[in-house]
Structure 1
Amino acid sequence: MTAADPQAASTALAALAALEPACALDDALALFDSLPAVRADEVTGRWHGRELATGHPMDGLLEASGWYGKQFDSVDEVHPLLFRGPSGQIVSVDPRRIPFGMVDRIPSGVVARGRQVMGAALPALRTRKPRARLRNVEYRGVVTAGMSYDHLPIIDLFRRVDERTLLGCMDLRDAPPYFFVLERDPGE
């Protein structure tokens, strides 16, 4: 990514830390809107993710299921969902095999056992093919990197917190934004 103002990056990191692990949706949106754009070609590499809970129906689900993050090989070859398997390996999952439309109806007991459930399901969900692309997209009045899923009506939008950290916002039709943080893997 291009060089950012160190003072602004430090302020942005502090603002993010003040919101984690959970905050109001309006506070997450305010932080997102305050951050600078990032270009699609600046986010290549593997990124480790964590959720920023805002009361979204998906809060807790990805982390409970062993979500690792995302991998951007190029703007046209993106692995949008990486999970850590039972033996520790990182696996790319085909998002269209995950029932996003049922997220708000998943019983809390299943969410609590998410890693175990996902570990058993990984062989059926795994893919080696990229399942998304990056483009510069206008969202909330700013042109920034957006990840468009190949087979789902979802766009993940990104803003720069600092050189190694992005704040992500999942835009899914008829749902509130879902927020997450990505940190570039060491060595990337």
Structure 2
Amino acid sequence: MAAENAGERLRELEPGARLADVLELFDSLPPVRVEELVGTWRGNGIDTGNPFDGLLERFGWYGKRFGGPEDAHPLLFAASGGRVVSINPAFMPVGLMLGIADKLNNPVVAKLFRILMPLMTTSEARARLRMVEYRGVSSAAMVYDALPIQDPFRKVDDDTLLCAMDLRGMAAPFVFVLRRDAA
């Protein structure tokens, strides 16, 4: 699919879509190489009916940062004073979160997360970038150090990625978009 058509199709799907339609776009996109990912990326989920839809955003998810193959920061969050901090994913009980995602849509839980955020921050990379085969295509993916998660990426254009979080035990991927942060 041509980049302009892929970008247009992504904009149509981003507000919410059937998972099959989003995966059809994902499968049509070209792979991305690890070295193309270097930088900071802003993220947003695509509502497909996945239990994780909107969950990270409720807690102030900013995106991801990649310094190279051994230097990936999978969970960047907006913090006080306009800062962006990296959270250690080992502190995110994703298995538990998957089971109670509907109960996490609560302002009290979000406030508690904000209070505890300083205890979960890290300056160390907590994931790596590797070429991984996913849905029949070898493309760059982020592989978490402490969790059974990989995030395969496909290229919409030089500054936009469509991503599928593949978590062991989750029936379908959580899909999200990353856009290169110009700052």
Q: Into which bin does the TM-score normalised by the smaller protein fall?
A: over 0.9
Other-structure match for 1:55: 49
Relative distance call for 1:88 and 1:109 in structure 2 (3 A) is: farther
Query: Following the alignment from structure 1 to structure 2, what is the Cα–Cα distance between the partners of residues 89 and 177?
Result: 29
Structure 1 stretches of at least 4 aligned residues deviating more than 4 Å after TM superposition: none
Other-structure match for 2:91: 97
Other-structure match for 2:135: 140
Deviation per CA, 1:95-129: give whole Å up to 9, x if none.
01011011234364642325423211211111111
Query: Which of residues 176, 180, 186 in structure 1 aligns to 2:182?
Result: 186
Other-structure match for 2:154: 159
Kept in 2, the 8 Å contact 1:132–1:148? The answer is yes
SS at match of 1:128: coil
SS at match of 2:8: helix
Query: Following the alignment from structure 1 to structure 2, what is the Cα–Cα distance between the partners of residues 112 and 9?
Result: 38
Query: Following the alignment from structure 1 to structure 2, what is the Cα–Cα distance between the partners of residues 100 and 177?
Result: 13
Identical amino acids, percent of aligned pairs: 48
Kept in 2, the 8 Å contact 1:66–1:118? The answer is no
TM-score, with length taken from structure 2: 0.94
Kept in 1, the 8 Å contact 2:51–2:102? The answer is no
SS at match of 1:180: strand
Deviation per CA, 1:81-106: give whole Å up to 9, x if none.
00001332101000010110112343
Unpaired runs of 5+ residues, structure 2, are none
Unpaired runs of 5+ residues, structure 1, are 1-6
Whether 1:170 aligns to 2:165 is yes
TM-score, with length taken from structure 1: 0.91
Return the letter of the residue paired with 2:140.
A
Query: Following the alignment from structure 1 to structure 2, what is the Cα–Cα distance between the partners of residues 117 and 131?
Result: 23
Deviation per CA, 1:35-74: give whole Å up to 9, x if none.
1100111100000000111111111100111000000011
How many residue pairs end up in the alignment?
Answer: 181
